[in-house]
Structure 1
Amino acid sequence: MRSKKHREPPEFETIQAAIEGDAEAINQVLSYFQPFINSECKREYKDEFGRVHYVADEYMKRRMETKLITKILDFKIRL
């Protein structure tokens, strides 16, 4: 059984900066979610010998990243 590596989530200040539109902060949040996005964007591909491979669907990956960015920018923090 594979163990999942524990990743620290982005700091609150980083999330606040991302919500305000800071490009570097948005990239940090995206990099945190990158393993999840990669795992969800796999497609089955059969080669000419009939073997099955799983490859990343780049179109789906970019759509998920774009959707995450728009949700980050639309997010409101209630105090």
Structure 2
Amino acid sequence: MKTTDKNEKSRNVLPFAVVQKATEGDIVSINKVLKHYEGYISCLSVRKMYDKYGNEYYCVDESLRSRLEAKLIKTTLGFKLVR
């Protein structure tokens, strides 16, 4: 049985080169950043909805998800790297 280090799971970070290229406007790198944060954005976009009978259900608000993705892209492009 293979045991995993607790810190091994927390090291799921984007490589520096991807972040650097994304801040420079590389489309492939920006897509990698979006893919990395896709699950988090989806979780933030879940909203409680009610149907006409009063039953509640949860769904992803697509307009909110799109706005969060646009904000992430804008922030990534405006990010300044300091070495």
Is the TM value for this pair above 0.5? yes
Range into which the TM-score falls when normalised by the shorter chain: 0.7 to 0.9
Q: Using the alignment, how far apart are the partners of 2:58 and 2:13 within structure 1?
A: 28
Q: What does residue 42 of structure 2 align with?
A: 38
- Root mean square deviation, CA, Å: 1.6
Larger radius of gyration: 2
Question: Aligned residue pairs: how many?
Answer: 75
TM-score (norm. length: structure 2): 0.82
In the superposition, the TM-score normalised over structure 1's length comes to 0.85
The Cα shift of 1:75 comes to 0.4
Q: Indicate whether 1:21 and 2:25 are aligned.
A: yes
In structure 2, C-alpha distance between the alignment counterparts of 1:8 and 1:24, rounded to whole Å: 19
C-alpha distance in structure 2 between counterparts of 1:6 and 1:35, whole Å: 15
Partners of 2:48 and 2:41 lie apart in 1 by 16
Determine what percentage of the aligned residue pairs are the same residue: 36
> What is the distance in 2 between the residues matched to 1:7 and 1:59?
31
User: Any stretches of 5+ residues in structure 2 without a counterpart?
Assistant: 1-8
Structure 1 gaps of 5+ residues are none
